[in-house]
Chains A and B, each alone.
Chain A
Amino acid sequence: MQRRDFVRCSMALGTALALPRARAQTRTAVPASLAPNPAEFRKAMADFIGKAKPLETGLKLDLPVLADNPSAVPVHVTVTLPLSDTLYCKELILLAEQNPSPLACRFQFTPYTGTAEAAARLRLSQSQTVHALARLSDGRVLAARQAITVAASGCGM
């Protein structure tokens, strides 16, 4: 690997220059397979939703329309329904539909939280749709989604 870089960089340098042969310093890494995993995406959705009928209101998902840095895409989720001591959000998941591992993360809240809001940063392998699903303590499931365009190539993983 290092040998190959060595050769490549020497060529890039241009033979016209009377420089000694140069060795490139590599610290990385080609990303391995970043292919989507649609089966896993469908399973993660189905596992979370179960027999519930997802409601398209009450869950707010914020993320940029265009990600200039696909290795750290800010995402923010909030359950906007009024919560109480008896009604709280049990868990909330974020799914990146085309990522090699679609389930990006899971948030869990408790009756002590009093709110259901979180923000994190995703790595996205390509342009795709990001989904959020929330399960309330009364069994309701809330859903939201948004498409996002990834500007640079998918080195985010």
Chain B
Amino acid sequence: MNRRDFLLTPPAMALGMAGAPLAAMAGPAILTRESRILPREGKGPRVVICGGGWGGMTAARYLRQLIPNAEVILLERNPTFWSGPMSNKWLIDVVSTDFVHHDAQHPANVYGYTRLQTEVIGFERERRLVRTAHGLIDYDFLILSGGIRNAYDAWFGNDQKAIDHTRNHYPSAYIPNAEMLALKQKVKNFKGGTLVMTLPPPPHRCPPSPYERACLIAWHIKKNKIPGKILILDPKPKVAPISMGYQTAFRELYPDIITHIPNAGVQEVDPFNKRIKTLAGEFKFDDAILMPPHQAAEMVWQAGLIGKTPDGKPTGWADMDPRFFHARSDDRVYFVGDLMGHISSQFGHYPKSAHVANYIGRIVARNIAERVAGKEVIARLPDNLCYMMVNADPQEAISVKFEYEVDAASGNVHQTQIDEDVRTNDLVKEDFVWIKDKFSDFLAL
């Protein structure tokens, strides 16, 4: 891995440790990855959260609130917070960079948790230790909330050259921060031709919604009269969810720009010669946003907590209890957000959305608080809400809600999906109310 990080002098560490208590700097003059960092403060339980996105930051806030003597440490590789929700609107300047990009230290200061900018590189669960680029950190409870990884290996195996070329030239832009900027450059520089979007097969992260992305890039193409077309290669048999709302938008707003190809699961990608072979045929592209399949973030693999299919293959997602969100094999480890595994035979996974990550962040914080207090742990259910802008002038959005309940007969979680397919400006306004409410919940805005 990052060998050059191996030796870190305290000043270099301090750069990466905004907000960490000074006490952590005391001790040996040379720290290595084998050094214990962040010695315990006080007698309260310590929760280490790996991944400071929507779910991780929410959990950090509520843990501090619900367990006043808890020491909460949030580990995150990015220096700042970049929101997936709203990022499609940011691509075409409906919102500014300041709207999606935020100081991540501010909430840590407000809510009283420690934020450490570092890379998680492994775990020793039997010793309750997290290995980071900066050293070892011990925990009583561990939350893994690192989101997704791009499973380029599904397309390219070990061909690192193809992976790098694809990542650099046709970024998926599902993972903040750098790829978001790269995608915006791509959109701004698009001069025409066929722009191919390969959609990840479900379950995949959303937001940013790939269909919303197609609509808003199409709007940019239409507005600037760029001689370009968007070809959506969709592994699903139809547009879903909000099938009708999206299909209506494609047909009525972008009939000459967007073509949606269903059942187009990717078989082979040649990023050098710009060709894609799918189950629906072969396509050439001039430019592309190549979204490979998603899997749980590397940290779940590193922790050895990926689920297995009946025939022994990795599911790609966390092996967890569907009602309490802890690892099946280690109840000290919780999962929050997109990396979570299977929930129900009725619908599979919870939507890998920011709304769900935020909701589960709160639920897991409460569950840990109940355990610490020796109380009965209550299995709670989230809901989900997503707004997708399909037209930027006039601004119109559609929406989907998911409600969950426990089916009394089977004990399974049951999902009800509510599509709001009528595109209106009201839904745009509600989207902004929603995001302000969420940002205030974990960004302390």
Residues of A within 8 A of B (CB): 1, 4-5, 8-9, 12-14, 17-30, 68-69, 71-72, 74, 152-153, 155
> What is the chain B residue whose CB lies nearest that of A18?
B331
**Contact B376–A23 (Cβ < 8 Å):** yes
For residue B28, which residues in chain A have a CB less than 8 angstroms away from its CB?
A: none
**Contact A26–B376 (Cβ < 8 Å):** no
What is the minimal beta-carbon distance from A76 to any residue of chain B, in angstroms? Answer: 10
For residue B377, which residues in chain A have a CB less than 8 angstroms away from its CB?
A: 19-22
**Contact B346–A28 (Cβ < 8 Å):** no
CA distance in complex: A23, B380 (Å) = 9
> What is the chain B residue whose CB lies nearest that of A155?
B414
**Contact B408–A9 (Cβ < 8 Å):** no
For residue A19, which residues in chain B have a CB less than 8 angstroms away from its CB?
A: 324, 326, 331, 371, 377
What is the minimal beta-carbon distance from A28 to any residue of chain B, in angstroms? Answer: 4
What is the minimal beta-carbon distance from B377 to any residue of chain A, in angstroms? Answer: 5
CA distance in complex: A1, B406 (Å) = 11
Q: Given A22-B378, A25-B378, A27-B381, A72–B324 Cβ distance below 8 Å?
A: no
**Contact A29–B405 (Cβ < 8 Å):** yes
For residue A68, which residues in chain B have a CB less than 8 angstroms away from its CB?
A: 238, 240
> What is the chain A residue whose CB lies nearest that of B321?
A13
CA distance in complex: A17, B334 (Å) = 13
What is the minimal beta-carbon distance from B273 to any residue of chain A, in angstroms? Answer: 36
Q: Given A5-B411, A22-B379, A69-B417, A13–B406 Cβ distance below 8 Å?
A: no
Q: Given A22-B377, A25-B406, A27-B406, A13–B323 Cβ distance below 8 Å?
A: yes
Confirm or deny: B187 has a beta carbon within 8 angstroms of a beta carbon on chain A.
no
B212-227 CB contact bits vs A (8 Å, 1 = yes)?
0000000000000000
**Contact A17–B379 (Cβ < 8 Å):** no
For residue B371, which residues in chain A have a CB less than 8 angstroms away from its CB?
A: 19-20
> What is the chain B residue whose CB lies nearest that of A12?
B411
For residue A29, which residues in chain B have a CB less than 8 angstroms away from its CB?
A: 405, 408
Confirm or deny: B42 has a beta carbon within 8 angstroms of a beta carbon on chain A.
no
Question: Main secondary structure on chain A at its contact with chain B?
Answer: loop
For residue B238, which residues in chain A have a CB less than 8 angstroms away from its CB?
A: 68
Q: Given A14-B328, A72-B419, A8–B411 Cβ distance below 8 Å?
A: yes
Which residue of A8, A18, A25 is within 8 Å of B380 (Cβ)? A25
Q: Given A13-B323, A30-B409, A72-B417, A23–B378 Cβ distance below 8 Å?
A: yes
Q: What are 16 A-B contacts defined by CB distance under 8 Å?
A: A9-B323, A12-B323, A12-B411, A13-B321, A17-B321, A20-B370, A20-B377, A24-B406, A26-B405, A27-B405, A28-B405, A28-B406, A28-B414, A71-B416, A72-B418, A74-B244
Q: Given A14-B328, A20-B374, A20-B377, A26–B406 Cβ distance below 8 Å?
A: yes
What is the minimal beta-carbon distance from B412 to any residue of chain A, in angstroms? Answer: 9
> What is the chain A residue whose CB lies nearest that of B410?
A8
The CB with the most chain A CB atoms within 10 A, among B244, B379, B403, B418, is that of B379
- Mark out the residues of chain B between 402 and 442 whose CB falls within 8 Å of any chain A CB in the assembled complex: 403-409, 411, 414, 416-419
CA distance in complex: A20, B418 (Å) = 34
Confirm or deny: B375 has a beta carbon within 8 angstroms of a beta carbon on chain A.
yes
B317-341 CB contact bits vs A (8 Å, 1 = yes)?
0000101101010010000000000
> What is the chain B residue whose CB lies nearest that of A64?
B238
**Contact A21–B376 (Cβ < 8 Å):** yes
CA distance in complex: A28, B379 (Å) = 15
> What is the chain B residue whose CB lies nearest that of A152?
B346
What is the minimal beta-carbon distance from B69 to any residue of chain A, in angstroms? Answer: 20
Which residue of B375, B379, B403, B409 is within 8 Å of A24 (Cβ)? B379
